[in-house]
Structure 1
Amino acid sequence: MRLAFAALATALLFPLATASAQDCANATDQATMSQCAGKALNDADKQLNADFKEIEKRLADDAGARKQLVAAQRAWIAFRDAECDFQSSGAAGGSIHPMLVANCKAALTNQRLMDFKNYLACEEGDMSCPVPAAE
């Protein structure tokens, strides 16, 4: 009986959760907007990590440059988090605060992604680019 009730509850709630998660463009309640902002940040962060790993792979033969990349990325994360804390400080404690932080972090992460995309698009012999071209 418990199993049947749990299955019924899941069947009834799943479409609601799926519908709200998929309709971020038309979100009207704070919970959905915060969920969508979190998803946008998560998606940007996943891509950033993938590109970071690709850059690390291209720097495999240069331990010094890899160390500088890691230091730069750690400093960038600290900056992003502090900047977003500052930008959202006017709403601290409010229900909108997590959404503002996530939106800020997603925006800055997407900007950083553009840096990484530029590094990954470097041409062979471009001395202004710290990442070797793809083989």
Structure 2
Amino acid sequence: MHLRFLLALTPLLLSPLAHAVDCDNASDQATMNQCASEQNKTADKELNTLYQQITTRLKDNPEAKKLLVGAQRSWIGFRDAECKFSASGVAGGSVYPLIYNNCVTDLTKVRVEAFKNYLKCQEGDMSCPVPSAP
């Protein structure tokens, strides 16, 4: 009984592998939207990793950590509002997810670079809010 159940599920388990998306050659809107969403997730994951690294460095400075949390929340609000506006010309259309996700990804990549710069601060750099790595 269990074997038949597992065999019945096999196509469902393997279907993501069978339908791997070639984003470099995407030619239909659904695929382009899916690829834009995946790129967004990748950029967001990198941003979150860097954010965690910064908060770890700020563990001995709760005031700076609180400022970072506030800044990040404000930045997310700005990013989302900006991208809703940016994509508003195609609201309700099939291209909306592509335009919106591309905007979010682009702004996230800019924030990623800012976080990377924070993590490169040199000891004694008074203009940098993140302490250098030990």
The two structures have a TM-score, normalised by structure 1, of 0.89
Aligned residue number for residue 67 of structure 2: 68
Instruction: Show CA shifts across 1:32-66 (max 9, x none).
Output: 10111000000000010010000000000000000
Cα 1:14–1:47, aligned 2, differ >3 Å: closer, same or farther? closer
Counterpart-to-counterpart distance in 2, 1:11 and 1:102: 27
Could you say what the CA RMSD is over the residues aligned between the two structures, in angstroms? Answer: 1.8
**Number of aligned pairs?**
131
Cα 1:10–1:127, aligned 2, differ >3 Å: closer, same or farther? same
Instruction: Show CA shifts across 1:47-97 (max 9, x none).
Output: 100100000000000000000000000000000000000000000000000
Counterpart-to-counterpart distance in 1, 2:6 and 2:133: 54
The two structures have a TM-score, normalised by structure 2, of 0.90
Counterpart-to-counterpart distance in 2, 1:117 and 1:14: 33
After TM superposition, list the pairs within 5 Å mapping 1:115-130 onto structure 2. 115-130=114-129
Runs of 4 or more, structure 1, over 4 Å off, are 1-6, 9-16
* % same residue: 51
Counterpart-to-counterpart distance in 2, 1:57 and 1:29: 42
After TM superposition, list the pairs within 5 Å mapping 1:19-58 onto structure 2. 20=21, 23-58=22-57
Cα 1:53–1:3, aligned 2, differ >3 Å: closer, same or farther? closer
Instruction: Show CA shifts across 1:5-53 (max 9, x none).
Output: 654x5488545411x2xx1111001111011100000000001001000
Could you tell me which amino acid in structure 2 is paired with residue 47 of structure 1? Answer: E
Aligned residue number for residue 130 of structure 2: 131
Counterpart-to-counterpart distance in 2, 1:13 and 1:116: 37
Cα 1:58–1:4, aligned 2, differ >3 Å: closer, same or farther? closer
Counterpart-to-counterpart distance in 2, 1:88 and 1:5: 42
Please, which runs of 5 or more residues in structure 2 have no aligned partner? none
